[in-house]
Amino acid sequence: MKLEKKDLEHVLKLAHLSVSESEKSALLPDLQRILDTMKSLDKVDLNTIEPSSYAFNQEAFIREDVVEQGDDLLMEQNAPDWESGCFSVPSILGDG
């Protein structure tokens, strides 16, 4: 597909980019080269490749979801005021 100036202007509009006319003339061949490179990927034979959702085998990252107590974080030592296991802060909106 041969890109035209109107195609570049459409892409710039979608991306909310403002580019001078001299920059547009420089960008058009660059964008054409990028698209041509991507088009060359159509020639890659993927028939022997199994489709996957992940780049890596997801099984390696699966672990048991275990709830742990946060007692070891010792957050109360960094709190100016600690009450019932929570930071206590002054009210900024008043009572209610």
Dihedral pair phi/psi, residue 23, rounded to 5°:
-70, -35
Tell me, what's the pLDDT at 71?
A: 67
Structurally, how many domains does the chain consist of?
Answer: 1
Residue 62: strand, helix, or coil: coil
Tell me, what's the pLDDT at 91?
A: 84
Residue 86: strand, helix, or coil: strand
Amino acid code (one letter) for 90: P
In a domain, 34, yes or no: yes
pLDDT in tens, 37-95: 999 999 999 898 888 777 766 666 677 888 877 666 788 888 888 888 888 888 888 76
Tell me, what's the pLDDT at 96?
A: 53
In a domain, 19, yes or no: yes
Tell me, what's the pLDDT at 60?
A: 67
Question: Rounded to an integer, what distance in angstroms lies between the CA atom of residue 28 and that of residue 73?
Answer: 55
- The CATH number linked to 14 is 1.10.20
Tell me, what's the pLDDT at 74?
A: 80
Which residue, among 75, 95, 72, has the nearest Cα to 85 in the 3D structure?
75
In a domain, 29, yes or no: yes
Q: Name the pTM for this structure.
A: 0.46
